[in-house]
Amino acid sequence: MPTLNALANRALGSPHHRIFGLDLLRAVAIFITVYGHAVMLVPPAYRSWHNLPVSAIDGVNIFFVLSGYLIGGILLKALLDTRKPFALGHFWMRRWLRTLPAYLVVLGSAVALGAWQGKLPAEVWRYFCFSQNLMTPHPAFFPEGWSLAVEEWFYLLFPMVVLVLAGLTRSRRAAMAGTVALFLVLPLVFKYYQYQQGKGLDAALWDGYYRRVVAARLDAIALGVLACYLQHYHTGLWHRLRRPGLGLAAALLVVTFLYPKLGPNVLFYNVWLRPLLEGATVLLVLPFFSQLRRQHYTPSMRGLTLLSLISYSMYLLNKSVLIKLVLEPLEKSVFTPYLGSGGWLVAYALYWVLLLIGALLLYTYVEVPFMKLREVFEKPKAAASAPELAATQQ
């Protein structure tokens, strides 16, 4: 069996065809996410201090905008090729082979263990068609599934709406712009309805009713598609935003960090403003990071690129599997009884080690084979450009 170092080197391959700036953003996003979940292993007295360094932005929001940006590039390339119709089935096949296999492996394992323990939710079937949080709060079982549901419904609905509008307007550019606008507005309408009905208007409930519901979060991915649209149709503006965008994003980060701690009416802010401000922050840094390339990779840069590559597997494994099923039981039954108050430190250290190893194995033996399987359905093509090659790895 290959060593972990060999697996890491195989996963990295030659990273020079990739866009390092996007890998860096993805690495930051997964670190914020799994670091935030690691607080579950930290004693209550230290939890507020533990999460303070990453409390300015939600890592999942970064993933959403990045996903929209990359998907927008794929859709624009297909829609602008007027020589042939947009192959919707082909697009879905590539997306599903990229996202579903690892998800089903981890979800299937959680379902099997839940059934064995007699703790399986009655409507677990909803997780297999991503309907568990369409318009209602996500169940407690397998909480990672909420963001995957948002992504999968976006992949399903967005290109369909583009094609319908393209047929009505006879303009693929107008169809793309109209679809982005629609996906930005409709979640606000849904949230307004929820707000008027008085649903989730409690500090302990807003996250479930607004942050983790599909109908309320499609706008985050649409912001990424908007970024791609601006890059393609307003290239001059995109390049001019390269440096100023960083400054504007920094200012928004200050707001998202301080307002929940100092501002009035935090519930209203969290429901209406925070998701949009965080999405806008990522959009504003994309002109810089999407053009950040490196010819020579240092060891730390290779490490960040590897973190980006295995980020999806890290997300799937970190909470439901490692924390809930492995480390919390070990901390209560072994580490704390035998090591006392310092037992949580052993569980915390094991979390990072097992997470990186487990994600590398899941990426190597599940994600990569199915990504390669996508190419079986492709006809031989001429060598793709660097940005296209980078996008195919998503």
Shared domain check, 114 and 46: no
Shared domain check, 286 and 267: yes
Please state the rounded mean pLDDT for residues 28-41: 96
Shared domain check, 45 and 146: no
Q: Contact 269/226 with Cβ under 8 angstroms?
A: no
Q: Contact 228/76 with Cβ under 8 angstroms?
A: yes
Shared domain check, 223 and 354: no
- Name the packing angle between helices 274-289 and 20-37 (round to 10°): 150
Shared domain check, 319 and 232: no
pLDDT digits (tens, 9 = 90+) for 350-381: 999 999 999 999 999 999 999 999 877 665 44
Report how far residue 209's alpha carbon sits from residue 137's, in angstroms, rounded to the nearest whole number: 5
Count other C-beta atoms under 10 Å from residue 155's C-beta. Answer: 20
Number of folded domains in the chain?
2
Report how far residue 314's alpha carbon sits from residue 312's, in angstroms, rounded to the nearest whole number: 5
Find tokens 């960090």 and name the residue. 257
Shared domain check, 164 and 70: yes
Q: Residue 286 carries which DSSP code?
A: H
Residue 377 is predicted with a pLDDT of 67
Shared domain check, 273 and 140: yes
Report how far residue 265's alpha carbon sits from residue 102's, in angstroms, rounded to the nearest whole number: 40
Count other C-beta atoms under 10 Å from residue 392's C-beta. Answer: 17
pLDDT over threshold 80, residue 86: no
User: Bigger pLDDT: 170 or 39?
Assistant: 39
Residue 379 is predicted with a pLDDT of 53
Report how far residue 116's alpha carbon sits from residue 95's, in angstroms, rounded to the nearest whole number: 32
Confidence band, pLDDT 50/70/90 cuts, at residue 17: confident
Confidence band, pLDDT 50/70/90 cuts, at residue 283: very high
Confidence band, pLDDT 50/70/90 cuts, at residue 207: very high
Residue 382 is predicted with a pLDDT of 44
Residue 206 is predicted with a pLDDT of 93
Residue where a domain terminates, one of 231, 259, 292? 292
Work out the percent of the chain whose per-residue pLDDT is above 70.
94
pLDDT over threshold 50, residue 69: yes
Shared domain check, 129 and 50: no
Shared domain check, 354 and 253: no
**Domain extent for 375:** 1-57+299-394
Shared domain check, 244 and 187: yes
Report how far residue 172's alpha carbon sits from residue 25's, in angstroms, rounded to the nearest whole number: 30
Shared domain check, 106 and 7: no
Shared domain check, 42 and 11: yes
